[in-house]
Amino acid sequence: MAEETVTISRREYDSLIHDAHELSVLEAAGVDNSSAADYAYTLRREMPCPCRSCAEERE
Ligand SMILES: [Zn+2]
């Protein structure tokens, strides 16, 4: 059986990529760390989000 595929808009796709990346950053920062939010902010620069909207913001 062929693998099922879906078609979504570029905006929806980028939103999914963005949210998954945000979770990766928060996990890397450690959710139980009281300064996790600050650390995530730093990590976000070291781990740039690959989604299109963030890439455009960085330009
Ligand atoms: Zn993003």
For residue 9, being part of any structural domain is answered with: no
Q: What is the pLDDT of residue 57?
A: 85
Q: What is the pLDDT of residue 5?
A: 93
At 5, which amino acid appears? T
Q: What is the pLDDT of residue 50?
A: 87
For residue 26, being part of any structural domain is answered with: yes
| d(CA 15, ligand 1 centre) in Å | 7
Give the global pTM.
Answer: 0.56
Q: What is the pLDDT of residue 32?
A: 60
Q: What is the Cα–Cα distance from 5 to 37, expressed in whole angstroms? A: 36
| d(CA 16, ligand 1 centre) in Å | 9
Q: Domain range for residue 33?
A: 19-58
For residue 52, being part of any structural domain is answered with: yes
For residue 38, being part of any structural domain is answered with: yes
At 14, which amino acid appears? D
For residue 2, being part of any structural domain is answered with: no
For residue 45, being part of any structural domain is answered with: yes
Please tell me the total number of residues recorded for the chain in this structure. Answer: 59
Q: Would you give per-residue pLDDT tens digits along the chain (59 residues)? A: 789 999 999 999 999 999 999 888 878 877 665 577 777 778 888 888 888 888 888 78
Whether residue 50 contacts residue 17, with contact meaning beta carbons closer than 8 Å, is answered with yes
For residue 5, being part of any structural domain is answered with: no
Q: How many domains does the chain have?
A: 1
